[in-house]
Amino acid sequence: MQLFPCPFCGPRDEREFHFAAEAGKTRPDTTGAVSEADWAAYLYDRRNDKGRVREVWMHLPCREVFVMERDSVSMEVLGTTAFRKAGA
């Protein structure tokens, strides 16, 4: 078990969290036609970087969304920021 630091509730069990997205990923512009390939890439393609990554997570008990920066190799959490402050 790993403890993730919720910026609102403090350290909590990892099972209380849900991965939402890569931070900074841009949704396709829907003012015009969007191809199936563009939607599929947005929904399913992941960078899967080794090392330092920024991700959007949700803490289910408090229902708050935040950005977690972590090392994907060592699984060390480097910091968390409230989503509304992070500008993700």
Give residue-wise pLDDT tens across range 32-73: 899 999 989 888 888 888 999 999 999 999 999 999 999 999
Strands 17-22 and 3-6: unpaired
The CATH number assigned to the domain holding 81 equals: 3.30.2270.10
Residues 36, 69: contact at Cβ < 8 Å? Answer: no
- Closest to 68 in 3D by CA, of 23, 14, 15: 23
Q: Is the pTM of this model over 0.95?
A: no
Percentage of the chain beyond pLDDT 90 is 64
Residue 22 belongs to a domain: yes
Give the residue numbers spanning the domain of 13.
Answer: 3-27+38-86
Quickly state the pLDDT bin for 87 (edges 50, 70, 90): low
